[in-house]
Structure 1
Amino acid sequence: MKLTVIGGTGRIGSQVVRKLTAAGHEAVPAAPSTGVDLLTGNGLDQALDGADAVVNLANSPTFDEASLDFFRTSMDNLLAAGDRAGVRHQVVLSIVGVDLVPQLDYYRAKTLQEDLLRQGPTPYSVVRVTQFFEFMAAVLSWTSDDTTVRLPATRVQPMAAADVVDAVVEVATGAPLQGIRNFAGPEVFALDELGRITLAAHHDNRTVVTDDTAGMFAAVTGDVLIAGPDAHLAPTRYEDWVRTAR
């Protein structure tokens, strides 16, 4: 099976390419460094030539309102190129609860991406995942100083990037879902609690202060980032991962 992986040189994409190749598939990474420009369409026809499926892992360079234009343009170009190439399956990586957080520009942009995929000409699958373990360091840095880290008590159900890769490969090599499949980590945390676990694992003596106005996730209320009962739960626990990562 030939799969073109858009964003195939990034954190998730490079691992998806390796895993697909190891399983005997032909995986073609497509990114600016390989001559593919999603915003102009340059290189897309060549990258999709002969592909059975397209795995879209491309991300907007910003998380603000400009991300809406990025996903609108990139999806229009990719869907048109896929239709020309006779691609039989378009897969997009998205976020659990993405359509329930319209107050965040980036989440609205990802919702638009899903909508464009559904309206497109090709059978499709949406792989929704929860926040990555690997992003926790960035989350801590947003609202920290030398002595404290301020975090809201937003409930999250994060998962390891390696488990995200497995989820993407599973869906991309199967039949189109014509819908959404949710994946999440095996445990639910309050974000401030997760911050304390992370700092302790790294022997960081800063104090986590619960502040429901702090950082991007302060805009999220309730359990919208928690996967529902139909979600596929990944195997990796956070405390096991953070010890290994450290």
Structure 2
Amino acid sequence: MKIVVIGGTGLIGSKLVRRFEAHGHEVVAASPNTGVNTLTGEGLAEAVAGASVVVDVSNSPSFEAKAVMDFFTTSTSNQLAAEAAAGVGHHVAVSIVGTERMPENAYFAAKLAQERLIKESGVPYSLVHATQFFEFVRAIADSSAQDDGVHMAPVGWQPMAGDDVADQVAKVAVGEPLNGRKDIAGPDRYRMDEFFRKALAELGDKREVITDPKATYFGSELVEDSLVPIGEATLGRVHYGEWNPS
């Protein structure tokens, strides 16, 4: 089976490429540095020719409202048009658990727009909604830092390892299209503030983590279930305490 991974040189994309290759699939790791640009369309038709599946794990280089919306709508529209022309039978996209609960968030709004395009395209599809990745713990803390410390809300938090994300996305990709959504999450649910207090200490980060019910997540205030699955979800196997960042 030929599988195209859009964003195939990134964190999750590179993990997917290795998994697909290990199972004998023909894989194209598509990204600008391999000659495939989904914003301009350069190399896209050639990449998807003869493909059975396209997996999109690309991400916007900017989270500014207009830039992130333009990225996901343009990139996704170009992919879907190329896939329809090539007869691709399965489009897989990775999104975020809770996206539909914070539409005022510019990044989440762009992901919702991406999902609408996929659902309306006529290309058979699967959406995988994942919780946040262990690999982004420090970056998320940095985004919540203020002069007196890192402000975190006391809400549900259920992050997962990038390897678990890749395992689940790979399984979906080689299966029948869901024409729907699957939620995936880490094996353990925490309080967000307590998790970051412990995780930053283990990283040797001496910043104080301040419990703040009004703390925002990339500009959006949170409630208890903003970022965790509600209802059925497939859980990963790697616990944070066992995770090896290398």
> Is the CA contact 1:91–1:127 (under 8 Å) kept in the aligned structure 2?
yes
Q: Which residue of 1 aligns with 2:102?
A: 101
> Is the CA contact 2:7–2:31 (under 8 Å) kept in the aligned structure 1?
yes
State the 1:245 CA deviation: 3.1
Q: Which residue of 2 aligns with 1:76?
A: 77
State the 1:215 CA deviation: 4.2
Cα distance in 2 for partners of 1:245, 1:10 equals 15
CA shift in 2, pair 1:74/1:206, >3 Å: closer
CA shift in 2, pair 1:73/1:146, >3 Å: closer
Q: Which residue of 2 aligns with 1:7?
A: 7
> Is the CA contact 2:216–2:222 (under 8 Å) kept in the aligned structure 1?
no
State the 1:212 CA deviation: 2.9
Which whole-Å deviations, capped at 9, do the CAs of 1:132-158 have from their partners, x for residues lacking one? 111111112224368732222232111
Indicate the larger mover: 110-119 or 203-212.
203-212
Q: Which residue of 1 aligns with 2:211?
A: 210
Cα distance in 2 for partners of 1:223, 1:30 equals 35
Indicate the larger mover: 165-174 or 182-191.
182-191
Q: Which amino acid aligns with 1:158?
A: P
Are 2:223 and 1:221 equivalent residues in the alignment?
yes
Q: Which residue of 2 aligns with 1:172?
A: 173
State the 1:213 CA deviation: 3.3
- SS of residue paired to 2:145: coil
> Is the CA contact 2:134–2:162 (under 8 Å) kept in the aligned structure 1?
yes
- SS of residue paired to 2:119: helix
> Is the CA contact 1:154–1:191 (under 8 Å) kept in the aligned structure 2?
yes
Q: Which residue of 2 aligns with 1:235?
A: 237
Which whole-Å deviations, capped at 9, do the CAs of 1:3-32 have from their partners, x for residues lacking one? 000000111101100110001111111100
> Is the CA contact 1:89–1:123 (under 8 Å) kept in the aligned structure 2?
yes
**Where do 5+ consecutive residues of structure 1 fail to align?**
none
- The percentage of aligned residue pairs carrying the same residue is 45
Are 2:143 and 1:110 equivalent residues in the alignment?
no
Cα distance in 2 for partners of 1:34, 1:199 equals 36
Q: Tell me the TM-score normalised to structure 1 length.
A: 0.93
Which whole-Å deviations, capped at 9, do the CAs of 1:59-103 have from their partners, x for residues lacking one? 111122121111111111110000111101000011111111112
Aligned residues: 244
**Where do 5+ consecutive residues of structure 2 fail to align?**
none
- SS of residue paired to 2:242: helix
CA shift in 2, pair 1:72/1:146, >3 Å: closer
Cα distance in 1 for partners of 2:144, 2:184 equals 28
Q: Tell me the TM-score normalised to structure 2 length.
A: 0.93
Q: Which residue of 2 aligns with 1:182?
A: 183
Q: Which residue of 2 aligns with 1:61?
A: 61
Indicate the larger mover: 151-160 or 209-218.
209-218
Q: How does 1:34-53 map to 2 (within 5 A)?
A: 34-53=34-53
> Is the CA contact 1:7–1:29 (under 8 Å) kept in the aligned structure 2?
yes
State the 1:216 CA deviation: 2.3
Cα distance in 2 for partners of 1:140, 1:21 equals 35
